[in-house]
Amino acid sequence: MAEREDHVDRVVRQWGAERPDLDVSPMEVIGRLKRLSRLVDAELKETFARHDLDFASFDVLATLRRSGPPYRLTPTGLMRSAMVTSGAISQRLDRLEARGLVTRTPSGSDGRSRDVALTEEGYALMDRALPDHLATERRVLAGLDEARTAAFIDALRVVLGTLGDDVE
């Protein structure tokens, strides 16, 4: 097991001294989860910046790319995948459209809806950025052996299930 004290160890120790009546053990998980998420964001951000991207833009382009031909989704579909509000998606698409990475056209079948499609430029950009992004993710996780990785995924899946992240 790890030898050094990390930030959350100290937090838990401090609470133990100040509020010994409370069981703060849930922080061992949630505190680290939030802290790690922030640190990972910072790592990924650098990779995205090398491709003139940020997380929001990458997320939209990647969602379109992996949806397969014809690389076309609605703003609502993108909204659900990204876990942001409809307003956020509208603004993301404004930025991507201005850069020529996606197009927005009226939907044929539903007058309320729009088709958001990846342009060739957007497709090419994802081809360049994705391997770099994956390399960064691999580097972040390099300390995990196979068993720990499996256990990590299992635990994440359980809690995601608790919070209702199942598809369908």
Partner DNA sequence: CCAATGTATCTCAGTGCTAAGGAATCTGAA
Partner DNA sequence: TTCAGATTCCTTAGCACTGAGATACATTGG
Binding site for DNA (CB under 7 A): 54, 56, 74-76, 79, 83-95, 104, 107, 110-114
Q: Residue 73 and residue 80: Cα distance in Å, rounded?
A: 11
Residue for token pair 């209702």: 164
Residue (96 or 126) nearer to a second copy, CB: 126
Supply 127's token pair: 């081809």
Q: Yes or no: say if 101 and 118 are a contact pair by the CB < 8 Å rule.
A: yes
Q: Using the rule CB under 8 A, is 20 a contact of a second copy?
A: no
**Backbone φ and ψ of 106, nearest 5°:** -60, 145
Instruction: Please report, to the nearest 10 degrees, the dihedral formed by the alpha carbons of residues 42, 94, 108, 122 taken in order.
Output: -50
Q: How far is the CB of 49 from DNA (least distance, A)?
A: 9
| Span interacting with a second copy, options 20-28, 46-54, 92-100, 103-111, rule CB under 8 A | 20-28
Q: With CB cut-offs between 5 and 8 Å by kind, which of a second copy, DNA, none does residue 117 bind?
A: none
Q: Residue 94 and residue 86: Cα distance in Å, rounded?
A: 12
Q: Which amino acid is at 70?
A: P
Among 28, 52, 94, 132, binds a second copy (CB under 8 A): 28
Positions in the binding site for a second copy (CB under 8 A):
1-2, 4-7, 9-11, 14-15, 17-19, 22-24, 26-30, 32-41, 43, 65-68, 81, 83, 130-131, 134, 137-138, 140-144, 148-149, 151-163, 165-168
